[in-house]
């Protein structure tokens, strides 16, 4: 197992978001796309909200198109969040409480390179599990943990399992994790190691809310043998670990350009700046 981390997530407040500063005049095409997006996502609004959501949608749509015309390493697209402003997404899905940024101690010593320019575990075999949806619970840290462990197990055994995030939400509190209020993959790996295993999605299904621990040792299907923490911000160590071992769990600050992420290599200058700021605050 490799791990660095900490992250993005939850607490949700239902606050009606502010309208974009100036009223946007929608083109026929934008109107058409809004209506088909509404149908695709089965959205229904009151007459008043319709106008409000249409405005936000148009603003997002324009940002996506502008981004995709540029020379970037990743593409954007409409998704289920496209009628929400980033402020609203922040309030609904991102952590508002201060969190530890990363594993507090690291023990990964990298070589001096050269490092490969790219590695894609999805192309090597069935080693990367499908994307799951955390819902309205600040449990991103559990999905990061299961995703990395699912890959490590698949690479070691050839078996692609789906592991139980809900067990981590319900049971990993003694390791400084806080269920739907956040946690750290490094601490979740420590929990699985100490607990002697994690159950599967089938025997401990995801609920997306805090609950009491229902771990049954005889139903554990995956185990952690060793945990390695990569030093905060050491991207070359991450590259090396991914190339030599398996996909790693890592965390970054979610900024506005991430809400419409579609594919490619995500890279955000504002996100990097925000992350160093957040960590500087935590360490000072």
Ligand X SMILES: *[C@@H]1O[C@H](CO)[C@@H](O)[C@H](O)[C@H]1NC(C)=O
Residue 43 CB burial class (10 angstroms; 0-12, 13-18, ≥19): middle
Is there a contact between 253 and 266 (Cβ–Cβ < 8 Å)?
A: no
* Rounded-to-integer distance, Cα 22 and Cα 91, Å: 22
144 binds ligand X (CB under 6 A): no
232 binds ligand X (CB under 6 A): no
Distances, alpha carbon 34 to alpha carbons 38, 45, 101, in Å: 6, 12, 38
Residue 112 CB burial class (10 angstroms; 0-12, 13-18, ≥19): exposed
* Pick 120 or 174: Cβ nearer ligand X: 174
190 binds ligand X (CB under 6 A): yes
List the interface residues with ligand X, window 211-230 (CB under 6 A): 227, 229
249 binds ligand X (CB under 6 A): no
For the CA atoms of 9, 268, 265, 29, what is the dihedral angle to 10 degrees? 90
Considering only residues 31, 36, 65, 107, which one is a binding residue for ligand X as defined by CB under 6 A?
107
283 binds ligand X (CB under 6 A): no
Tokens linked to 91: 């309030």
184 binds ligand X (CB under 6 A): yes
Whole-number minimum distance, CB 10 to ligand X, in Å? 13
99 binds ligand X (CB under 6 A): yes
* Rounded-to-integer distance, Cα 236 and Cα 108, Å: 11
105 binds ligand X (CB under 6 A): yes
List the interface residues with ligand X, window 70-89 (CB under 6 A): 71
96 binds ligand X (CB under 6 A): no
Whole-number minimum distance, CB 144 to ligand X, in Å? 13
> Which chain residues interact with ligand X by CB under 6 A?
71, 99-100, 103-105, 107, 176, 184, 186-187, 190, 227, 229
């Amino acid at each position: 197992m490799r791990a660095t981390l900490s992250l993005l997530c939850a607490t949700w407040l239902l606050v009606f978001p502010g309208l974009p500063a100036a009223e946007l005049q929608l083109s026929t095409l934008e109107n058409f796309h809004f209506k088909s997006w509404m149908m695709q996502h089965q959205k229904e609004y009151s007459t008043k909200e319709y106008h409000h959501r249409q405005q936000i949608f148009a603003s997002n749509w324009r940002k996506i198109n502008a981004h995709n015309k540029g020379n970037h390493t990743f593409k954007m697209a409409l998704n289920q969040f496209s009628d929400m402003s980033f402020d609203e997404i922040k309030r609904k899905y991102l952590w508002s409480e201060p969190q530890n940024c990363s594993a507090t101690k690291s023990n990964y010593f990298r070589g001096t390179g050269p490092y490969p320019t790219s590695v894609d575990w999805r192309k090597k075999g069935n080693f990367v599990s499908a994307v799951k949806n955390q819902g309205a619970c600040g449990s991103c840290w559990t999905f990061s943990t299961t995703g990395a462990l699912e890959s490590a197990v698949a690479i070691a055994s050839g078996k692609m399992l789906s592991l139980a995030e809900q067990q981590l939400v319900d049971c990993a509190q003694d390791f400084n994790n806080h269920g739907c209020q956040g946690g750290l993959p490094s601490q979740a790996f420590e929990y699985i190691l100490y607990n002697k295993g994690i159950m599967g999605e089938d025997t401990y299904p995801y609920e997306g809310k805090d609950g009491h621990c229902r771990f049954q040792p005889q139903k554990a299907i995956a185990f952690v043998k060793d945990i390695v923490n990569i030093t905060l911000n050491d991207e070359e160590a991450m590259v090396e670990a991914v190339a030599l071992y398996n996909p790693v769990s890592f965390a970054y600050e979610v900024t506005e350009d991430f809400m419409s992420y579609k594919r490619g290599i995500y890279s955000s200058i504002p996100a990097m700046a925000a992350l160093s700021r957040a960590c500087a605050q935590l360490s000072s």
